[in-house]
Structure 1
Amino acid sequence: MAVTVDDSTAGRARPVIADAPGSRSWARAFGDLRQGWQQRALWGHLGWQDIKQRYRRSVLGPLWISISMGVIALGLGLLYSLLFGLPLATFLPHVAVGLLIWNFISGCVLEGSEVFIANEGLIKFLPAPLSLHVYRLVWRQTLFFLHNMVIWVILMIVFPHPLGWSLLLAIPAFALLAVNGGWIAILSGILATRFRDIPPIIASVVQLVFYLTPIVWSVDILSGNPAVQERARLVEINPVFHFLEILRRPLLGQETVWRYWYVVLAITVIGWSVGLLCMRNYRARVAYWV
């Protein structure tokens, strides 16, 4: 990419960004992803340092991640189990695991919209692929998720669930969540560098989606009511619902619903197609936009 000068406006020079030859190519887009992955030692270290820096001089350190999550899950689980008249042994794990997964999803979305803006200094002065910052973000959210898995272990001890071989599906399910977190960060991150109104808009939408997703409420409650049984299926319009269910169901020992997996796979393919297209066309401009 090169910068030219346009002096056609009343003698005042104005910088105009012009793409260098070959800057918009699929080879460079895929090359960026490949080079970023090859530097996994760097973004892996940076992601871990992000967590250590956040809890520097704290006695419990990163354990505060799990403690805060556990307190919120316990409070919401107790409250809504009393409101809906549901047994705590089944509803508390439902809420806690839902919050655990939601924190990963919302973290990728919210921080993804600012992934390049937050790393402005590194992007301008460090010759590194853009995808490095995306990998760092997803890795950091993965570490948060693994910390919070302590809550799931405790719940399975206190409130045993019939876990079987379907529990192994949690591994590919979480892998799909992480893969989708990548294209979300790329797409929203590039758009946000160009249009700075994007992050607050995304934050508002994420807050709304939280209430529309069965995290602190259950679809089974609506399905049990004949008056709203048909309308309960409208929740499947929400794409986050499918991501939530492919991971929550194996963690709670529930029956696998394969249509959720099909929807997630379709979203993954479409999402990465759009994300790579955006990467191909605008990757070279991010350094100027930030």
Structure 2
Amino acid sequence: MVPPLVGGRPPAGTLASVAVTVTEDGNRAEDARPLVDAAPGPRSWQRAFADLRQGWKQRTLWGYLGWQDIKQRYRRSVLGPLWISISMGVIATAMGILYAALFQEDLHSFLPYVATGLLIWNFISGCILEGSEVFIANEGLIRFLPAPLSLHVYRLVWRQTLFFLHNLVIWGLLMIIFPQPLDWSLLLAIPAFVLLVFNGGWISILSGIIATRFRDIPPIISSVTQLVFFMTPIVWSYERLLSNPAVAERARIAELNPAMHFVEILRQPLLGHDIVWRHWTIVGVITVIGWAAALVCLRNYRSRVAYWV
């Protein structure tokens, strides 16, 4: 049975439309054809990917806002954003000297090791901690500005990238003071950082949406992040533990920590260490799984964030 026409159009929710034509003899002919809804519902892959595309197209806006976030933080400061590098340099130097003495490490190689690890960790932890509050912190913009949710994620990752580039000055100074055996593998630092940026995106989307719904999530993430810092080989050497037969087997438990692999894929080329491709494989798998989970979350709950904030 062909569904009746309402105002010349098929009723909403029907699986077929009725095409009406007029034959040469003036008779009315009806033909049932499949109907494709041009307006997808709020829970659709089309709208989820459209959100990401529209957010990327507004890169002029979130690029400007990300830079203004840094300028506002150091407003009326004489040195301005240089304080980012200064504070990072002081902390890295103090921790490098302290842990080199505690673990009896060679300061010439251990100080760049710690400083580079802290540089990478600051980017990772920034995406995790600020990502869990990315939508909560932009409550006013989400409520009153008709913009895609991904705009706030792009803004956050861009801001963390600027912090990273500022702190990269510390790495350059350490390479001058404590030269390391750098080679062609240094070029791998570019795709390694791109992977970190991609993962910062899905972490912000996933944790941001969940934390907007459940406000107890940000404090939990903050506590877990502090714990993960000490479990990640930043101020201690994973290779040093592996070389000790007494603890080598137990030391391999550290590879269960995903943050370790993200740190290593970037630190190894920056310091001229041998590239361990196992870390790249694990990071690649995590990237695919993480984005799959983030896209599912964005598809199902993107339209609810405005109500949850």
**TM-score, structure 2 normalization:** 0.87
For the pair shown, the structure with the greater C-alpha radius of gyration is 2
Per-residue deviation, 1:234: 1.1
Structure 1 portions without partners, runs of 5+: 1-19
Structure 2 portions without partners, runs of 5+: 1-38
Say which of 49, 66, 81 aligns to 1:47.
66
Instruction: Report the AA paired with residue 272 of structure 1.
Output: W
2:193–2:266: 8 Å Cα contact kept in structure 1? yes
Per-residue deviation, 1:170: 0.2
Structure with the larger RCO, 1 or 2 (CA within 8 Å, 6+ apart): 1
Per-residue deviation, 1:27: 0.3
Report the secondary structure of 1:215's partner residue: coil
Q: Using the alignment, how far apart are the partners of 1:97 and 1:196 within structure 2?
A: 33
TM-align CA RMSD: 0.9
Report the secondary structure of 1:135's partner residue: helix
Matches within 5 A, 1:267-278: 267-278=286-297
Instruction: Report the AA paired with residue 267 of structure 2.
Output: R
2:40–2:47: 8 Å Cα contact kept in structure 1? no
Instruction: Report the AA paired with residue 189 of structure 2.
Output: A
Count of paired positions: 271
2:55–2:151: 8 Å Cα contact kept in structure 1? yes
Q: Using the alignment, how far apart are the partners of 1:214 and 1:265 within structure 2?
A: 20
Equivalence for 2:10: none
Per-residue deviation, 1:221: 2.2
Matches within 5 A, 1:259-270: 259-270=278-289
Q: Does residue 224 in structure 1 map to residue 243 in structure 2? A: yes
Equivalence for 2:3: none
Residues 35-76 of structure 1: CA deviation (Å, up to 9, x unaligned): 000000000000000000000000000000000010000000
Greater share of helix: 1
Per-residue deviation, 1:224: 2.4
Q: Using the alignment, how far apart are the partners of 2:183 and 2:48 within structure 1?
A: 41
Write out the 4+ residue segments of structure 1 that deviate beyond 3 Å after TM superposition: none
Percent of aligned pairs with the same amino acid: 77
2:136–2:212: 8 Å Cα contact kept in structure 1? yes
2:51–2:148: 8 Å Cα contact kept in structure 1? yes
Instruction: Report the AA paired with residue 273 of structure 2.
Output: Q
Q: Using the alignment, how far apart are the partners of 2:73 and 2:102 within structure 1?
A: 36
Equivalence for 1:112: 131
2:62–2:151: 8 Å Cα contact kept in structure 1? yes
Equivalence for 1:215: 234
Per-residue deviation, 1:21: 6.7
Q: Using the alignment, how far apart are the partners of 2:85 and 2:206 within structure 1?
A: 30
Q: Using the alignment, how far apart are the partners of 2:164 and 2:70 within structure 1?
A: 12
Residues 206-253 of structure 1: CA deviation (Å, up to 9, x unaligned): 000000000000112211221101111111100000000000000000
